[in-house]
Amino acid sequence: MHIRDLPYSDPGDPDVRSGPRLLLWLGRNQIRGQLKSLFWGLVHQCSVAGYPLTVGLAVQAVVDRSGGRLALAGALTALLGVLTAVGDAMIHRAAVTNWITAAARIQQLLSRKTAELGSLLTRRVAAGEVVAVSTGDVEKIGWFVEALSRFLAAATILVVISVGLVLYLPSLGVLVAIAMPFLALSVLPLLPRATRRADVQREKGGRATELASDTVAGLRVLRGIGGEDLFLDRYRRASQEVREAAVHSARMWSLISAVQVLLPGLLLLALVVHGASLVRDGRIEVGQLVMVYSTVTLALFPLRSFEEIAMAYSFSRPSAQRAVRVLSLSRNTRPATVDTVPSGDLYDPVTGLLAPQGRFTAVVCGDPDEAGRLAERLGGHAQPEAPDTDAPEPPSVLLGGVPLDELEPGAARTAVLVQDKDPVLLSGTLRELLDVPSSGKVEAAAALSAAQCDDVLAALAQASPERDCEPLDTRITERGRSLSGGQRQRLALARSLLTDPDTLVLDEPTSAVDSHTEARVAAGVKDLRTDRTTVVFSSSPLLLDLADRVALVHGGTVVAVGTHRELLRTEERYRAVVTRETDDEVEPAAAPEHGEPAAAPQEIEERA
């Protein structure tokens, strides 16, 4: 896989049983890249390891006053220089390619999972953790994949050096062969503690990132209640905890580095002392001692790869485990069997809610959270946050008699579109905001008009730094922060209307606008959605009065169905929600005291 070929046409199905298994799966999927990096790593390491041989030959040639052997040593040195330069450049290229392609694969998997789960993702995993996985954790996972092939090359060359020295000069080679495994494995007793400290650092860093993300998202609310200093202090404390954990972890890694310097130094010292005694006794030549010493000195650099792979694994393992937490989430266990978009009534067998095809249905819930969960369920997005494996899975919402969870994701999104009460506007121009997949039957001007966005367009044109700028070409800041809540809500509604799905579910689409605008928006939506299935969650009398059918949901079940005026006359719980009556107001209406007559249903209807 080359970087120019990214993104992957299919990133594959990852092994999400554990973090190490995910890393192993990544390595298997990049076997060609790993073998290429291993080959160039061996070329580089072998050429570097060959320098002591040429140096030894040159020294011995000078001692023996042999010009021919000195010229041969010089030619070999030049050849090794070329191989070293080529190998170093190519291994760097191959290793970085492995890093980037591995990170890209994980990012594509995370993007695919995010699109699959939708709003369910942030119910299972904190938003800050998702951000941490898709940024820092992806980089650390790629680091391990990149370092793996270089470690294998280093381990291979150490074995070659040890065996070669034993065969070339047993008197010194045996000492090196015995010491090399000990030097390579000397840091293993320290790794568990270093890994635990690294895990603590990553955990505290993830919490700090989550806190920062949540604070930034709610900054406007915090300023309104004067809570900036409180959350700033919390983040400052979390940041200090991360710093302390990082210092605590760095101390252990510095100890590991010190061990990897001290023990090889002792080996070199022992090698020099023992080798000098052998030269003095005439058992070996000076050139042989120089060659062995130089070889061992250069062999200490591959030993560093053992420390690097240990660090890479200790940092990437918790990162891979967090990625597994996200990638292992699923919406349901049943495979999709229908790839065509059905049509018909929308029916929820759990609550008994029915939205007839082509009708404007309003739903009233006393609990706003219950309304939000039901709206997501109607779109096939909701699932219990912590499903009990022993409990039966609730039946799916039916569209034309077809369960939504049996539809292919693309077909389900085409069939039912859900706009929640807090829609998100991405940064970009208004034209880009409205550039969404649609049926093509609704024009942008009609959608903006139905959502009563004329004043929004005027405000955008006036705020543009360019003279005579088209409102559609005006840039909107991230999440629409430059707009008011009502303006953001109406632009999001226009985007949903422009999409023109077969079934549109709106959760409180007019909660942030005044009553006059709300009445016009309700009329515009109904006119534009004629003969199209529309479900609106709201308790606004202005909107409810325009609905063809109103359903009251209480305690998770539909308890009454009718028109707005019918339910005002006949259903006391409906009146309590729509007219915002308190318990003290409902009791006198149900049981008047001291002979005072209760408010008549007609009077309540007029007030609503």
| Band (592; pLDDT cuts 50, 70, 90) | very low
DSSP 8-state code for residue 383: -
- CA angle (347, 350, 351) in 5-degree steps: 75
Q: pLDDT tens digit string along 531-574?
A: 889 999 998 998 999 999 999 998 889 999 999 999 999 999 99
Cβ contacts of residue 420 below 8 Å, gap of 6+?
119, 372, 375, 376, 507
Cα separation, 117 vs 138, whole angstroms = 20
DSSP 8-state code for residue 562: E
Does residue 308 have a pLDDT over 90?
no
pLDDT at 334: 56
The DSSP-derived string for 453-477 is -HHHHHHHHHH-SSTT--GGGSEE-
- Which regions of the chain carry the CATH code 1.20.1560.10? 16-327
Q: Mean pLDDT over all residues of the chain?
A: 81
CA atoms within 13 A on the CB side of 325: 19
Structure tokens at 356: 């007839």
Specify the higher pLDDT residue, 447 or 303: 447
Structure tokens at 506: 């709106």
Contact of 567 with 580, CB cutoff 8 Å: no
For residue 178, which amino acid is it? I
The residue to which tokens 């009556």 are assigned: 581
Cα separation, 519 vs 113, whole angstroms = 39
Q: pLDDT tens digit string along 414-471?
A: 788 888 887 778 778 888 888 888 888 889 889 999 999 888 888 777 776 666 667 7
Contact of 96 with 89, CB cutoff 8 Å: no
Structure tokens at 52: 């002591």
Q: 16-327 adopts what CATH topology?
A: ABC transporter transmembrane region fold (1.20.1560)
Does residue 22 have a pLDDT over 80?
yes
CA atoms within 13 A on the CB side of 600: 3
CA nearest neighbour of 120 among 368, 348, 380 = 380
Cis peptide before 7 (omega within 30 of 0): yes
Contact of 408 with 339, CB cutoff 8 Å: yes
For residue 461, which amino acid is it? A
pTM for the model: 0.63
Cα separation, 563 vs 561, whole angstroms = 7
- DSSP, collapsed to helix, strand or coil, labels residue 602 as helix
The residue to which tokens 């580089």 are assigned: 44
CA atoms within 13 A on the CB side of 451: 27
Contact of 45 with 145, CB cutoff 8 Å: no
Largest CA distance in the chain: 130
> What are the CA-CA distances from residue 188 to residues 79, 158, 181, 320 (Å)?
37, 18, 11, 21
pLDDT at 533: 93
Does residue 59 have a pLDDT over 90?
no
Q: 346-384+396-562 adopts what CATH topology?
A: Rossmann fold (3.40.50)
Bridge-partner residues for 416, per DSSP? 503
Mean pLDDT, residues 63-92 taken together: 88
> What are the CA-CA distances from residue 398 to residues 66, 141, 478, 551, 596 (Å)?
92, 41, 36, 17, 49
Q: pLDDT tens digit string along 205-264?
A: 777 877 776 666 666 665 666 666 777 788 888 888 889 988 988 888 888 888 878 888
Percentage of the chain beyond pLDDT 70 is 85
- DSSP, collapsed to helix, strand or coil, labels residue 535 as strand
